[in-house]
Amino acid sequence: MSALATAIVVFIIILAGAAAYVRWQAPGFAGHLLPSHRSDTRRLQARYGREYDRLYAQHGDHDAVERELSRRERERAQLEIAPLDPEDRIRLVDGWTAAQVGFIDDPGDATRRAQQLIGEAMALLGYPSSDDPERQLGLVSVDHAHALADFREGHELMQRSHTGSPGVDATEQLRQAMLRFRVLFDDLVGAGARAQVSAPAREKVAA
């Protein structure tokens, strides 16, 4: 083989290797993540769970998801999230109990009230409310990602209950929504807080 032919073959091999490397690095390619990057991805997937999956379904790119989560974490770090005051906790728990009782007579109103109580709890904890609810939920996901996934499912069920589609049991959709809302509510006010708000605690707050 002549020197020129050999040079051409070598050049083609180099081009093929470069093309394979670029494809390996391309977003969406199953093997494109470096070992350290794969470790970060697994960590974030474990921390954010279904919230990570939801973002990946939107973006189709692990890097884009991780940039979004990093942005949320930086913004969350600027917030001062404080535990609820006892008075606020009692008021929220009482409101939730009333919503549950009211579900029998008016499931729609009770479910809307439950969603409102979650919004109030977020604001009282220090997550900024604004005209962009998704921003608030994004910040909440940094601390309550797994419970937030239940809240999102509850919101979808609540919306589905309004469709009036054949075969859709609106009351059952709302009941399931309440159950999922409760997961985030309990996470925000404190695990088991609804059972812990006892009569002595109320008396102490009122004193």
**Distance (Å) of CA 186 to CA 4, 16, 94, 140, 202:** 74, 56, 13, 14, 19
Residue 104 domain flag: yes
Residue 52 lies in a domain: no
Domain identity same for 170 and 93: yes
Quote the domain boundaries for residue 17: 1-32
162: its two tokens: 């309004």
Q: Has residue 59 been placed in a domain?
A: no
Question: Does a structural domain hold residue 184?
Answer: yes
Q: 177 is written with which tokens? A: 């929504």
CA nearest to 143, candidates 88, 59, 80? 80
Helices (H), the chain: 3-25, 35-48, 50-59, 62-77, 86-102, 107-125, 133-160, 170-189, 193-196, 199-206
* C-alpha span between 192 and 87 (Å, rounded): 16
In whole angstroms, give the CA distance from residue 99 to residue 43. Answer: 37
Residue 98, Cβ density class (10 Å: 0-12 exposed, 13-18 middle, ≥19 buried)? middle
The answer to whether residue 25 sits within a structural domain is: yes
For 140-155, how does the pLDDT look when each residue is reduced to its tens digit (9 = 90+)? Answer: 999 999 999 999 999 9
Distance separating alpha carbons of residues 147 and 181, to the nearest angstrom: 9
Give me the tens of pLDDT residue by residue for the chain, a chain 207 residues long.
Answer: 565 555 454 445 555 444 444 343 444 433 444 555 677 889 999 999 999 999 999 999 999 999 999 999 999 999 999 999 999 999 999 999 999 999 999 999 999 999 999 999 999 999 998 678 899 999 999 999 999 999 999 999 999 988 777 767 899 999 999 999 999 999 999 855 444 554 444 444 333
pTM tops 0.85, yes or no: no
22 and 93 fall within a common domain: no
Q: Are residues 91 and 179 in the same domain?
A: yes
Domain total in the chain: 2
Q: Are residues 194 and 97 in the same domain?
A: yes
Q: What token pair was written down for 38?
A: 């794969």
For 29, other C-beta atoms within 10 Å of its C-beta total: 11
The reply to whether 97 and 167 lie within a common domain is yes
